[in-house]
Amino acid sequence: MPMYQNGTEVDPAFRDLEVRQDKIMRRLNELKAAVDGLAKTVTTPDADLDQTVTSLSQSPTATSFRGTADLDSLLGKDLGALRDIVINANPARPPLTLLVLHAMLCQRYRVLSSVHVHSSVSGVPAQLLSCLGPRHADSYVRQRFQLGFTLIWKDVSKLQMKFSIQNMCPIEGEANVARFLFRLVAPYPSDPALATLVDSWVDTAFFQLAEGSAKERSAVLRALNGALGRDPWLAGPELSLADIACYCCVLQTGPAASSPANVQRWLKACENLGHFGPANPLLQ
């Protein structure tokens, strides 16, 4: 096959090829620019906020800047955008466990929190609008934060979380979001039986205590009483997600005074820890 030389005796077929190649390269560059633009839109966290209306309160002023750098190892390297946890919750069923876990996240990371109201709901009570604490003084400098926590009051039938939407499906159910948030705060017990015990109590809290009949509820209270007779916390010697979920669901569904003795003692012990402050104003 003759080679292309000096441009004098060029086979017209080669010139055509050259023109075509230039065209293709131009088109590729255009495409690359378009994809870069799209990537920017996608990785900007606000892109996920669908037509929210009022932007209200923001996170604690006195965030203790104890943030650690281990988010990368937990969540994988990110692309430089703020990792924003976006939660759609129904104001008729405030997710108390998530408020407690939010406060725990704030002790560990620099969290940029915000509360919004979606156009599908109206008349959201003031305590729900301020449930993540007062607006953060630095909230305009997103790069000073490690995590975003965006709570949107919305008319959803099940609580939803959207996080890292390129890699992960939307997560449904308060129990599963609680599991996710708790993994950011502390690791699950390394013992498979203890870790599974935690998950089992979490399911019990959300499906039998919070949604179950009076009969189911009293059966769970008896089970709780039995477990708390053996150990100080539900999954052994340390506070776990099991305690947080059960605490919130027990108080949400009835007066503490009607609980059995071990449960009452444990409720007091939970209160003494101070983690449950954010949930208390929302409990009837």
Partner 1 sequence: MALNLTINSSNPPLGVLLAAEHVKGSVNLSVDEGKDNKLRVSESVQFSDVNSITRYLARVTPTLSLYGSNMLEQTEVDHWMEFSTRRVCGQSGLATALGELDMALALRTFLVGHSLTLADLCVWAALKGSNDWQSIQKQAGAFSHVARWFSFLGSQVPFTAVGNKYANSKA
Q: Which residue, among 193, 212, 201, has the nearest Cα to 254 in the 3D structure?
A: 212
- The one-letter amino acid code at 56 reads L
Check binding of 186 to partner 1 (CB under 8 A): no
Distance CA 152, CA 57 (A): 12
Q: Which residue, among 92, 253, 239, has the nearest Cα to 158 in the 3D structure?
A: 92
Check binding of 196 to partner 1 (CB under 8 A): yes
Q: Alpha helices of 109-188 — where are they, by DSSP H? A: 126-129, 174-185
Q: How many CA atoms lie within 13 A of 91 on its CB side?
A: 20
Check binding of 222 to partner 1 (CB under 8 A): no
**22 Cβ partners below 8 Å, 6+ apart?**
none
With CB under 8 A as the rule, give the number of residues binding partner 1. Answer: 26
Check binding of 81 to partner 1 (CB under 8 A): no
Strand 147-153 to strand 83-89: parallel, antiparallel, or no bridges (unpaired)? Answer: parallel
Whether the Cβ atoms of residue 151 and residue 132 lie closer than 8 Å to each other: yes
Check binding of 180 to partner 1 (CB under 8 A): yes
Whether the Cβ atoms of residue 177 and residue 156 lie closer than 8 Å to each other: no
Query: What's the closest the beta carbon of residue 269 comes to partner 1, in angstroms?
Result: 22
Check binding of 49 to partner 1 (CB under 8 A): no
Q: Which of 171, 185, 219, 223 is in the footprint of partner 1 by CB under 8 A?
A: 171
Check binding of 209 to partner 1 (CB under 8 A): no
Query: What's the closest the beta carbon of residue 222 comes to partner 1, in angstroms?
Result: 15
Q: Return the number of the residue (129 or 223) whose C-beta is nearest partner 1.
A: 223
Q: Which of 130, 139, 176, 253 is in the footprint of partner 1 by CB under 8 A?
A: 176
Q: Return the number of the residue (170 or 277) whose C-beta is nearest partner 1.
A: 170
Query: What's the closest the beta carbon of residue 132 comes to partner 1, in angstroms?
Result: 21
Query: What's the closest the beta carbon of residue 183 comes to partner 1, in angstroms?
Result: 5
Strand 171-172 to strand 52-58: parallel, antiparallel, or no bridges (unpaired)? Answer: unpaired
Check binding of 261 to partner 1 (CB under 8 A): no
Q: Which residue, among 177, 166, 181, 47, has the nearest Cα to 111 in the 3D structure?
A: 181
Q: Return the number of the residue (232 or 254) whose C-beta is nearest partner 1.
A: 232
Distance CA 268, CA 264 (A): 6
Q: Return the number of the residue (12 or 76) whose C-beta is nearest partner 1.
A: 76
Q: Would you tell me which residues interact with partner 1 (CB under 8 A)?
A: 74-76, 163-164, 167-169, 171-173, 175-176, 179-180, 183-184, 192-193, 195-197, 199-200, 203, 207
